[in-house]
Amino acid sequence: MDAPVTPVAIDNDHQNPSKHLPSQKNTSKGGWNAAIFVIFVEMAERFAFYGLAGNLITYLTNNLGQPVAAAAKNVNTWVGVSAIFPLLGAFVADSYLGRFKTILASSSIYFLGMVLLSLSVSVIPTHSRKPVFFTALYILAIGEGGHKPCVQTFAADQFDENNPEEKAAKSSFFNWWYLGIVTGASVAIVVVIYLQDNVSWAAGFGVLAGSLAVALALFLIGMKRYRKQRPTGSPFTRVAQVFVAAARKWRLTESHGSRGICCEDDRVPGQTMGPKLVRTNQFRFLDKAMMIDNDNAMRKSRNPWKLCSLNQVEEVKLLLRLIPIWVSCLMFCAVITQLHTFFTKQGSTMSRSLGPNFQVPPAALQSLVGLTILIAVPVYDCVFVPIARKLTKNPTGITMLQRIGIGLFVSILNMVVAGIVETARVNTARKHGLIDTPKAVIPMSIWWLLPQYVLTGIGDVFTIIGLQELFYDQMPEEMRSIGAAAYISIVGIGSFVNTGIISVVQMISSKHGKEWLRDNLNRSNLNYFYWVLAGLSAINLCVYMWISSAFEYKKVEEYNEISEGKELEMEGYSDVRV
């Protein structure tokens, strides 16, 4: 009978003595004096993004003459690409350029793209405007790809977690950060969209380009105040090493042929460290990567492509656990993309008078989402969480997955309500003989759309913020930039999912003689489309509940003082500890 397996820790300290040096940050840099500049940069970027995205479908249909369904697909595709590029941007930042250089380069690209967009609606000849406009759109998507995954992490880097004062300030920073995002988006939706609808598109896009120029200047002014971290290398390499090492030892088991597991410990006696991951029972094939075979035991140093540490293996498991959650939230993002497309087109057909001389721009109602979030976040923290805490005995009131699930349920209600309101809008048009007059103003107030905008905001408070927290908390520390990009990419892939649903709906409905989504919204069946989304979202919620029931949260082992350990010699391999 085989001897019991002894967990061991391979010590490679002789290979990298610099890792024992304490982490030092320049105390004359960083803190609020640096972070405030980055907050303004993000505020300007959100101002520019929502100033463009909020009314893009109007420009495509009214100025470029695109059909409503085609314009909605183009908006979804652009939003999707803009949200997927951050995966590439995060990889470049973590592996090569670092966050500061990536933000600087991407902000410059962003600015140039917005300048080109402004020119495409003004001085560019009419016959060339469409290709130039779309070229500028995707240049902006490239800029978004480098900016989005780095800017929040770079701002948070300005606060030293080992400094109690700065650690407390960092908690406050996230509140101000989110406030900056919502403020930038809300102001853009009100001010810029008014300029686009009532002055000119060139004026509206010109203001967006100007805001990006100011943001870039502010970022450069604060350059000497920033704490800049060097790129740590590709996080994907660590993931690949685990799969390769496990595949090489696919026949090995802990009870037959294994000399123990690699619990490599980089901690130093007397040093205060962060959490150490605890071994879990999911994805057990990957455990082979940390099993020590005879070849590993005979080596003086560890080959990371043949032997990985327990912590490294558990990091990959964390990543794999998040993938099903990521997939199950795509439908939620397919629903919220209606905000920039069909919600806006609905509003353009309704009575928008506010007083005798003012017409509410239909896209301006998107600011209600930001307003709802500003109200709902403190209500969630100050009212919902304390009540839930008493019922669940959970310090956070509810778990992150429960929070996300509530938002998924709200998205179902959102589509049901949107379908009911759309039915009432079409019935009003029919009652007044306006069914075949698509440009006529239907005598139904645009404020009937208020519930679906409010429900969108409430859904964001639960699901979007819940996803932010989940992908930050459950990702390996070395991969948090990738985690931020992965969370952002949900919005992008969700936009593509919505585009696919539109294509399928158009294909099926056209075979039965009546397309659901027509240029004349009064002759469309947009209410049916909303209810299809509600049905798909309900199915998705059931799948999510099944997935989340099997989800295991990160398990950590807290420690402070680390003892020296005992030396163990094993067949010529003396660099191990037990």
Which helix H or strand E contains 576, and what residues bound it?
A: strand 573-577
Question: 389: exposed, middle or buried (C-beta count within 10 Å: 0-12, 13-18, 19+)?
Answer: middle
Q: Which residues contact 128 (CB under 8 A, 6 or more apart)?
A: none
Which helix H or strand E contains 33, and what residues bound it?
A: helix 32-53
Position 71 scores a pLDDT of 87
Position 427 scores a pLDDT of 93
Position 257 scores a pLDDT of 52
Position 199 scores a pLDDT of 85
Q: How many CB atoms lie within 10 A of CB 120?
A: 22
Position 271 scores a pLDDT of 37
What is the full per-residue pLDDT of the chain (578 aa) written as tens digits?
A: 444 444 444 444 434 433 433 344 455 677 888 888 888 888 988 899 888 887 888 889 888 888 888 888 888 888 888 888 888 888 888 778 888 899 999 999 999 999 999 999 888 888 888 899 999 999 999 998 888 888 877 887 788 766 777 765 665 676 677 778 888 888 888 888 888 888 888 898 999 999 999 989 989 998 888 888 777 667 778 888 889 988 988 877 766 655 566 666 544 343 334 457 778 888 888 888 888 776 666 666 677 788 888 888 888 888 889 999 999 999 999 998 888 788 888 888 888 888 777 788 887 888 888 889 888 888 888 888 889 888 988 887 888 899 999 999 999 999 999 999 999 999 999 998 888 888 888 999 999 999 999 999 999 889 988 887 888 778 777 677 677 778 778 887 888 888 889 889 888 888 877 878 887 888 888 899 999 999 999 999 999 999 999 888 877 775 444 334 333 333 333 333 33
Question: 331: exposed, middle or buried (C-beta count within 10 Å: 0-12, 13-18, 19+)?
Answer: buried
- CB 452 within 8 Å of CB 417: yes
DSSP per residue, 169-217: HHHHHHHHHHHHHHHHHHHIIIIIHHHHHHT-HHHHHHHHHHHHHHHHH
CA atoms of 215 and 221, how far apart (whole Å):
10
Position 326 scores a pLDDT of 92
Helix (H, G, I), strand (E, B) or coil at 512: coil
Domain extent listing, the chain: 1-12+28-233, 310-354+361-553
Position 24 scores a pLDDT of 43
Position 569 scores a pLDDT of 36
Longest dimension (CA), the chain: 92
Record: fold of 1-12+28-233: Growth Hormone; Chain: A; (1.20.1250)
> What CATH number should be reported for the domain whose range is 310-354+361-553?
1.20.1250.20
pTM over 0.85: no
